[in-house]
Amino acid sequence: MKKISLGICILMTLFAASQIRCGDIASETKSEQIFGHDLFDSSVAQSDSALGGVLPDYILKPRDEVHVDIWGDLNLHYVLPLSADGFIIIPEAGRISLNGLTYAEAKRKILHHLACTYAFFIDVKNPGAGKAPVDITLGKTAGINVFVTGEVKKLGSINTSGISASIINILRKSGIRNQASIRRIELKKLDGKVYIFDLYDFLLKGIMPLEFKYLNDGDIIFVRLRDKDVNITGSIRRPGRYELLPEEKLDDAIRIAGGVLSSAQKKIRIFRKTDVDSDNRINESNIKIGTNCELKDQDVINIFGSRDTDEKYYVTVLGEVKHPGNYAYLKYEKVNELIARCGGVSDDAFLDGAQFFRNDSLTIVDLPMALRETQSSCNFNIMPGDKIIIPRPNSFVMVKGAIISPVGIAFEKGEKVDYYIKKAGGYKDDADQANVTIVCMNGTVKRGKAGFWSANPVVPLGATIVVPYLSGNPPVTVEEAMANPNQSVK
């Protein structure tokens, strides 16, 4: 009966953890996307009909339709499809080549031919007046197929109407992956020419060259991997994550983020990963504004404001989150909001083993509860200098202290203290068997041998079993016991 109850508890815990990842956290990751990525969110892509009328610079192509209406003293209506070689034929006015012309240029050319044929009725300078006003509009536009490849969610051919065939609309239909570059997107034309599209030129400068505004049938879009991105916080006009080109430096990053605020001081902190295999992997550099230094992928840049001091004015999240690193301290920010600012937890996160440090001391925090029950007391306000480490599941149980062979034992679900003690060779003669403790990954301590009900408890994943000595060395802290297996614990 106890085993069944334990199994149910484990299943409920795993289900709750999955709900945390898929619900509370995943739903808040959008705000932490690379600046500009949300423009390509395929879930909110516009339909072709929602894109408005024809712009004057639309380039006509075969199979487009031109409508010509003349009324007043003349009553004529023509629906004129462009032939395969780009011509239309107007009775009496003749054959007119429009292929490759913009919509505005085509209207002027058609009007000129009509005015030559019906000179007495049509005013070429004012086609809406005269004895026979003229209206020239675009009807159906030819459908085109653009092939999309690289870091996109939907590989292959994208079909759309010519009027809505901008590179942005095509990529909204295909969607892009999180690691995609939005600043070096290649557009390959049938004639072999390759154009490079930088979305930031459009977002920050309003620049959209014609080759990207209207794509042609058979064009190929290639989306490459992103080289680097940085996170800019503090006294900056537009804090956030930005993609940088390989050659761009600190000054470029500040410019892209809108420049510094008037409250900005001369001091800038740059936090950089130094060792991906170590929890202690963030290196802090302090430089002055105007020092145009090189930046690396996933650097965190903090622009000092007038209210900042030389104290730690940042918080740290390491381990299994999407974007580990140091983050500027935000007043009144709660635990779940900080995790969301890091992009949420990764699929490998072991939430039950998360460690929380305040004032450099390990503090017991129920992180799964903080993320699941955001109104609970577990979801408290973050303070400057706080540090959260979210590990991967540790597949070993460490046995330390007064034991024959202090080693790591492969974790076996449901096994109890005595199982691991036996695997480690058993107790030493001077072991204090009555005060064995289990130290969980998050720092929680349980008694392993005390009283009838807890005489031989089940050991959780990643825990450390500490066997103290009856006498000898002075007692040590939990942290020391986890790091030094040969010291005694009382």
Residue 335 has a pLDDT of 93
Residues of the chain with CATH 3.30.1950: 65-138
Residue range 131-135: average pLDDT?
Answer: 91
* H-type alpha helices, 194-288: 199-205, 210-213, 250-256
Residue 31 has a pLDDT of 38
Domain spanning 37-48+142-223, CATH class: alpha beta
Which residue reads 């390990």 in tokens? 362
Query: How much is the CA Rg of the chain, to the nearest whole Å?
Result: 33
Please give the backbone phi and psi of residue 137, each rounded to the nearest 5 degrees, phi first.
-130, 165
At 243, which helix (H) or strand (E)?
strand 240-244
Distance of CA 77 to the CA centre of its chain: 53
Range from 28-37, 64-73, 190-199 carrying the lowest mean pLDDT: 28-37
| In the predicted structure, residue 363 carries a pLDDT above the cut 70 | yes
Give pLDDT tens digits for 283-338: 778 888 888 899 999 888 888 775 544 445 678 899 899 888 888 777 788 999 89
Residue 462 has a pLDDT of 84
Half-sphere exposure at residue 77, Cβ-oriented, CA atoms within 13 angstroms: 1
More confident residue, 465 or 306: 465
What confidence category does residue 472 fall into, taking pLDDT thresholds of 50, 70 and 90? low
What confidence category does residue 343 fall into, taking pLDDT thresholds of 50, 70 and 90? confident
Strands 240-244 and 134-138: unpaired
Distance CA 395, CA 398 (A): 10
Residue range 398-406: average pLDDT?
Answer: 90
Rounded to 5°, the CA angle 236-199-270 comes to 35
Residue 17 three-state SS? helix
Q: Tell me the average pLDDT of the chain.
A: 81
> Cβ distance 185 to 199 under 8 Å?
yes
Residue 489 has a pLDDT of 41
> Cβ distance 33 to 175 under 8 Å?
no
Residue range 172-183: average pLDDT?
Answer: 94
Distance CA 400, CA 390 (A): 23
Rounded to 5°, the CA angle 51-54-60 comes to 120
Domain spanning 396-483, CATH class: alpha beta
Residue 367 three-state SS? helix
At 408, which helix (H) or strand (E)?
strand 408-410
Residue 285 has a pLDDT of 81
More confident residue, 5 or 479: 479
Give pLDDT tens digits for 224-265: 999 999 989 888 899 889 999 999 999 999 999 999 888 787
Distance CA 80, CA 364 (A): 76
Distance CA 112, CA 92 (A): 13
| In the predicted structure, residue 203 carries a pLDDT above the cut 90 | yes
Domain spanning 228-390, CATH class: alpha beta
| In the predicted structure, residue 11 carries a pLDDT above the cut 80 | no
pTM here is 0.54
* H-type alpha helices, 210-273: 210-213, 250-256
Residue 446 three-state SS? strand
Query: What is the end-to-end Cα distance of the chain in Å, rounded?
Result: 35
At 87, which helix (H) or strand (E)?
strand 87-90
| In the predicted structure, residue 356 carries a pLDDT above the cut 80 | yes
More confident residue, 266 or 282: 266
Q: Which pair of structure tokens corresponds to residue 327? A: 């983050």
Strands 185-188 and 194-197: antiparallel
How many helices and strands (H and E) does the chain possess? 10, 25
Distance CA 381, CA 329 (A): 11
> Cβ distance 462 to 390 under 8 Å?
no
DSSP label of 186: E
DSSP label of 174: H
Residues of the chain with CATH 3.10.560.10: 37-48+142-223, 228-390, 396-483
> Cβ distance 310 to 284 under 8 Å?
no
| In the predicted structure, residue 20 carries a pLDDT above the cut 50 | no
Instruction: State which fold the 65-138 domain adopts.
Output: wza like fold (3.30.1950)
More confident residue, 225 or 163: 225
User: Which residue from 80, 42, 63 is spatially nearest to 145, judged by alpha carbons?
Assistant: 63
Q: Which pair of structure tokens corresponds to residue 217? A: 């049938």
> What number of other Cβ atoms are within 10 A of residue 342's Cβ?
24
Residue 271 three-state SS? strand
Residue 473 has a pLDDT of 52
| In the predicted structure, residue 80 carries a pLDDT above the cut 80 | yes
Strands 314-319 and 387-390: parallel
- Characterise 81 by phi-psi region: left (phi > 0), alpha (psi -120 to 50), beta (else): beta
More confident residue, 282 or 143: 143
Distance CA 440, CA 317 (A): 20
